[in-house]
Amino acid sequence: MTVKTIEKKISAPAVTRALHLRNEGIPFDLSLIEGININKSAVDRRAATIGGRRSVKKEWQAAWLLKAISCMDLTTLSGDDTRGNVLRLCSKAKNPVRQDLLQAMGMEDAGITTGAVCVYHNLITFAVEALAGTKIPVAAVSTGFPAGQISLPQKLREIELSVAAGAKEIDIVISRAHVLQSDWKALYDEVSACRKACGEAHMKTILATGEIPTLTKVAKASMIAMMAGSDFIKTSTGKENVNATLSVSLVMIRAIRDYLELTGYKIGYKPAGGISKAKDALHYLFLMKEELGNDWLQPDLFRFGASSLLGDIERQLEHFVTGRYSASYRHPMA
């Protein structure tokens, strides 16, 4: 069985975008989160089973890794970012895997690209120019990224400027104090205002879960963010001491499932920070499939926030084709 056949069995081709209603949000209702109480031990036990009892090999693994690439927000968020960095990033986003490897797998015509390119606001125009003529959207971090310690009017202005510059997706950061103080109405109002400022641009709400002390608060913040109109909920900025974990992901994913049952809206999920190995990407994909189904194996409902991950995936794909591991520097990093 070929990689192409297996990739089709996993889900639709990478360039496909599933159609579903965009989340319009619902009125604030505190009763929807009052009963939430997460059993951390149970969550950790369930999360631990993903890597232990789920494994794919050979062409099956290659197909899953190609799927991971299509769900990747290829990201550069460093203080030394330049126009050249962004142009290189966009070039890699358009051609994330070497052509000889794709040909060997029979995937040269599959149209595989990354899900998006994510940059700081001042670099949006360079990314938009570099990606012109493709279907790859530009995502921008906004609202005082990464700490979010600016006023709400400043946050809204940042969003408006990023949308005007051409960003199709906006990754916002919440004010953590609202979660820490359990001021859920303030969190709802903030996220709702940001969603309005985004207009047609899709909004990913970063919870910065590494700075939230309990899984119960993570679950409540997830639900509030969705109630306020988030298109995606995202774990981390990548700048916290602790970023995405399978346990936190399980809590957020099940909040997405609860919101779907309540409203009928499908909300996307984005783990970010610390996902640098191909095997880790597979664990997150398996978790999405088991908990939410194949619809969440598409880039309109699942993204990795990643920078170094692509290099390791390409290295694993070369091993599949040649039977040999190459040095990481042989694979151009974005």
What confidence tens digit (pLDDT) does each residue in 275-306 have?
A: 999 999 999 999 999 999 999 999 999 999 98
Spatial distance between the Cα atoms of 176 and 182, rounded to a whole number of angstroms: 10
Burial 225-247 (b: 16+ CB within 10 A, else e): bbbbbbbbbbbbbbebeebbbbb
Show the tokens assigned to 46: 């369930």
What confidence tens digit (pLDDT) does each residue in 239-257 have?
A: 999 999 999 999 999 999 9
Spatial distance between the Cα atoms of 278 and 47, rounded to a whole number of angstroms: 18
User: Is 168 tagged catalytic?
Assistant: no
Measured over all CA atoms, what is the biggest interatomic distance in the chain, rounded to whole angstroms?
Answer: 56
Q: Can you say how many angstroms the Cα of residue 1 is from the centroid of all Cα atoms in its chain?
A: 30
Radius of gyration for the alpha carbons in the chain, expressed in angstroms and rounded: 19
Query: For residue 97, what pLDDT is reported?
Result: 94
Query: Which member of 155, 220, 270, 289 is catalytic?
Result: 270
User: Is 185 tagged catalytic?
Assistant: no
Q: How far apart are the first and last CA of the chain?
A: 31
Q: CA dihedral defined by 27, 225, 211, 48, rounded to 10 degrees? A: 120
Query: Where do runs of H (alpha helix) occur along 132-264?
Result: 152-165, 176-180, 184-198, 215-227, 246-263
Residues 140 and 120: beta-carbon distance below 8 Å: yes
Query: For residue 1, what pLDDT is reported?
Result: 54
Closest by CA position to 42, among listed 208, 250, 219: 250
Domain ranges of the chain: 3-330
Query: Which member of 92, 168, 204, 234 is catalytic?
Result: 234
Domain 3-330 annotated CATH 3.20.20.70: yes
Query: For residue 51, what pLDDT is reported?
Result: 79
Residues 229 and 199: beta-carbon distance below 8 Å: no
Spatial distance between the Cα atoms of 314 and 102, rounded to a whole number of angstroms: 10
Determine the length of the chain: 334
Query: For residue 17, what pLDDT is reported?
Result: 47
User: Is 135 tagged catalytic?
Assistant: no
Which residues of the chain carry a pLDDT beneath 70?
1-19, 53, 331-334
Query: Which member of 67, 168, 171, 266 is catalytic?
Result: 171
